[in-house]
Amino acid sequence: MSTTVILGAQWGDEGKGKLVDVLAGNSDWVARFQGGNNAGHTVVIGERTIKLHLLPSGITRESCQLILGDGMVIDPWVLDQELERWKDETGEVPDKNRLFISDRAHIILKFHRLVDGLDKKIGTTGRGIGPTYSDKINRVGLRFADIKHIINDNDWISEMTSLYNRILKSLDIDQMISELELKKDLEWIHNRFGHTIKNTGLMLDNALKMKQNVLLEGAQGCLLDIDQGTYPYVTSSVTSRANATHGVGIHPGHIEDVIGIVKAYTTRVGHGPFPCELKDDVGDYLTEKGHEFGTTTGRRRRCGWLDIVVLKHSHRVNGFTSLAITKLDVLGGLETLKVCVGYKANGVEYHNLPASITDLENAEPIYVEMPGFPGLSDQEWLDLARKANKEKAGLSALPINAQKYIQQIEKMLGVPIHSIGVGPDRDATIHIF
């Protein structure tokens, strides 16, 4: 029996999908525990690029059972489109026998998307995530378990339609929700996904009793956590380790490994403070070479140097047992590398992440510099990784200055390195044996 948690250690977009895809080869179950289609994971297998939004990254392994967990908010229409695309590409219908939706997960409706579309401050994806979580906390949300009971409850439908329309009117949104429209939507959801709605927490508990391997996949990253992130520029869920088991309905004692995914530099999408952001040629270089555009929205990611202050905070919150470094190859070709080891803000020096958004907005990074290493083509990095894994060379396969860069990260954080990503392909990962 083994339960491994994969978490983003920065502001998301660290490359979690690629590692989940690799580890899923030895897993029986892969479960998402929070978020919705505001997340995007990309998996590259040879010439094929797979972009996922709701489906767990383990979908690429037909032996894996897949779960959309209790802590998620799910847009049924987006899920339907994603499943149809998967069927068109592969011929497989995962929801027939290996994809299950938690009966405790909440449903994103048209109303939630309309409300979310008003956001201008935080820089959300506008997918209805925040308003659905808001309804959940306000105890007026709709869960998959309850659809079969309320599709013929005209009083409930009337009350919810009135509530939604009062809110839409108060926000000066012209579109309204009709009772007939809401009823038809609920009927469609029930007819389309009723067969997949299960007590998935019980399923995972039974799997663990049978000594099966479970992989818990997080969305976003620690710095977008509603409690531990750069509030208010965060997502609407708990993205950290504490919610991993809770968000799929099993207890935390099951966790054996927590792998923090760390991009070799730092990126974030949307608004909010970013002390290490580079608005220069190096920032443009990282954006272009790293293809730093959001999987879900296509938005350009803001890029900057690696931030140890952020990673120390993330490790304290999550207790990583190891780190998976991604996109090391993107740094290749830069003459000098910088690593942020602290901030100066309002006359104060910080070596731990301040909670105040004002302090973070005024923070100036304190850097240490390291020599860069040569750039290689994607194929050269891929060949290097395959050779390294075949010979079990680990870190020693890298150029000497790349080795020193990784060793410095390991030393500063006190967490061993699990693997090093040197390209987008599934095989472009050097495993540390």
Question: Is the CB of residue 127 less than 8 Å from the CB of residue 75?
Answer: yes
Note whether 382 and 396 are within 8 A (CB): no
Does residue 96 fall inside a structural domain? no
Residue 101 domain-assigned? no
Q: How far is it, in rounded angstroms, from Cα 420 to Cα 398? A: 10
Quick one: 286 and 384 in the same domain?
yes
- The strand pairing partners of 213, in sequence order, are 2
Read off the DSSP letter of residue 246: G
One domain for residues 156 and 249: no
pLDDT, tens digit (0-9, with 9 covering 90-100), for 376-391: 999 999 999 999 999 9
Q: Quick check: is 420 in a domain?
A: yes
Element (H, E) at 77: helix 76-90
Both 82 and 178 in a single domain?
no
Per residue in 265-315, pLDDT (tens digit) is: 999 988 999 999 999 999 999 999 999 987 666 778 999 999 999 999 999
- Give the CATH number of the domain where residue 12 resides: 3.90.170.10
Distance CA 13, CA 220 (A): 7
User: Is residue 53 within 8 Å of 81, Cβ to Cβ?
Assistant: no
Give the whole-angstrom CA distance, residue 157 versus residue 246: 30
Both structure tokens of 420: 């090093």
Position 165 confidence tier, pLDDT thresholds 50, 70, 90: very high
Backbone dihedral angles phi then psi of residue 291, each to the nearest 5 degrees: 50, 50
DSSP H helical ranges for 154-307: 154-170, 179-193, 200-209, 241-244, 281-289
170 shares its domain with 251: no
Q: Say which CATH number the domain at 120 has.
A: 1.10.300.10
Q: Of the candidates 195, 224, 254, which is a domain's last residue?
A: 195
**Last residue of some domain: 178, 195, 212?**
195
User: Would 396 be classed as within a structural domain?
Assistant: yes
Would the pLDDT of 341 be above 90?
yes
Question: Is the same domain home to 224 and 343?
Answer: yes
Domain of residue 347 covers 2-87+199-431
Residue linked to tokens 């870190």: 395
- Give domain status of residue 98, yes or no: no
DSSP alpha helix (H) spans, 292-339 = 308-318
Residue 41 in this model has a pLDDT that exceeds 70: no
Q: Do residues 410 and 370 share a domain?
A: yes
* The pLDDT value given to residue 306: 98
Does a structural domain hold residue 93?
Answer: no
> Does 298 lie in the same domain as 176?
no
Which of the residues are catalytic? 13, 41
Read off the pLDDT of each residue in 310-328 and give the average, rounded to a whole number.
98
Residue 389, in any domain of the structure:
yes
Instruction: Tell me: do 124 and 270 sit in the same domain.
Output: no
Instruction: Judge if 44 and 158 occupy the same domain.
Output: no
pLDDT score, position 50: 76
Beta bridge partners of 262: 325
Percent of the chain with pLDDT over 90: 84
Which residues are registered as beta bridge partners of 32? 68, 217
Is the separation of the CB atoms in 116 and 128 below 8 Å? yes
| Choice between 153 and 21, residue whose per-residue pLDDT is larger | 153
Q: Tell whether 214 and 280 lie within a shared domain.
A: yes
Last residue of a domain, one of 195, 220, 238: 195
Shared-domain flag, residues 8 and 144 = no
- Number of domains observed in the structure of the chain: 2
Both 288 and 419 in one domain: the answer is: yes
386: enclosing H helix or E strand: helix 378-391
| pLDDT category of residue 120 using cuts at 50, 70 and 90 | low
Q: What is the pLDDT of residue 295?
A: 64
Geometric angle at alpha carbon 264, from 364 and 397, rounded to 5°: 140
Domain assignment present for 227: yes
The model's pLDDT over 360-417, given as tens digits with 9 standing for 90+, comes to: 999 999 999 999 999 999 999 999 999 999 999 999 999 999 999 999 999 999 999 9
Task: Please give the helix or strand (H or E) that residue 401 lies within, else none.
Answer: helix 400-413
Reported confidence tier of residue 43, pLDDT bands at 50, 70, 90: confident
